[in-house]
Amino acid sequence: MSKSWTQSFSGRVITPGCLQADQVSFADIPHALAQKCRFSGQLRAFNYSVAQHCVIGAEQIAAPFALAFLLHEVSEVYLPDVPTPIKQFLRMETESGLLLKWTELEDQHARAIFTALGLMSLYPLIDSPEVHAMDLRMLMTEKRDLMGPEPRPWGIDAHPLHDKITTCWSPEKAEALFVEAFERLSR
């Protein structure tokens, strides 16, 4: 018998091949993102999390886009954080036999989560030029402050943030600050 579901932090059944909005609990979002290390752990510092990435970026972007940036990685709540160069090679077969590209699966998860949060009107902003530009600035900041020596140029035309990332938050701190930012930005 194959198991086609996983259990979430909040104790819900999650069907990763076809996530439904009623499976989503807000508690899972900050908790999971605070537990996931960026760049598959290929960092000098321990535990720089996806949640910390989202909170820092949300603090740096203009108000209409801040909540979208905070939530732009929600597809990783119930799926692994897969580095972008690997995504093109991944597919997942759903229970119905449909073969989805990894990016299609991420999109399906993000849509279900935005629906569950009642924020579907915000969903298009995660693909906005403003959110993409901030994501690239964050990427360059993280590369500068947290990664080892660059083996070759990354070819990304973005400037890092002025402030350096000097500490990596504990999972507990990243989760709490994510919740605080969500509450502040969703008012």
pLDDT tens for residues 88-111?
999 988 778 889 999 999 999 999
Separation of alpha carbons 41 and 6, rounded Å: 23
Separation of alpha carbons 53 and 174, rounded Å: 9
Which tokens sit at 147? 């990664």
DSSP string, 162-176: SS-------HHHHHH
Evaluate if residue 63 carries a pLDDT over 80: yes
Evaluate if residue 3 carries a pLDDT over 80: no
Domains annotated on the chain, with CATH: 6-185 (1.10.3210.10)
pLDDT averaged over every residue in the chain:
95
In terms of Cα–Cα distance, which of 32, 36, 59, 58 is closest to 49? 36
Stretch 129-154: mean pLDDT, rounded?
96
Q: Is 78 helix (H, G, I), strand (E, B) or coil?
A: coil
* CB contact set of 145 (below 8 Å; sequence gap of 6+): 160, 164, 165, 166
Separation of alpha carbons 95 and 5, rounded Å: 10
pTM for the predicted model, two decimal places: 0.95
Q: What is the pLDDT of residue 2?
A: 54
Evaluate if residue 161 carries a pLDDT over 60: yes
Q: What is the pLDDT of residue 56?
A: 98
Q: Among the listed ranges 11-25, 78-92, 154-168, which one has the minimum average pLDDT value? A: 78-92
Stretch 71-94: mean pLDDT, rounded?
92
Q: How many CB atoms lie within 10 A of CB 149?
A: 4
Q: Is 29 helix (H, G, I), strand (E, B) or coil?
A: helix
Separation of alpha carbons 121 and 118, rounded Å: 8
In terms of Cα–Cα distance, which of 45, 37, 33 is closest to 168? 45
| pLDDT range class, residue 14, cuts 50, 70, 90 | very high
Stretch 63-69: mean pLDDT, rounded?
96
Q: What is the pLDDT of residue 77?
A: 98
Q: What is the pLDDT of residue 1?
A: 38
* CB contact set of 103 (below 8 Å; sequence gap of 6+): 87
In terms of Cα–Cα distance, which of 149, 114, 117 is closest to 43? 149
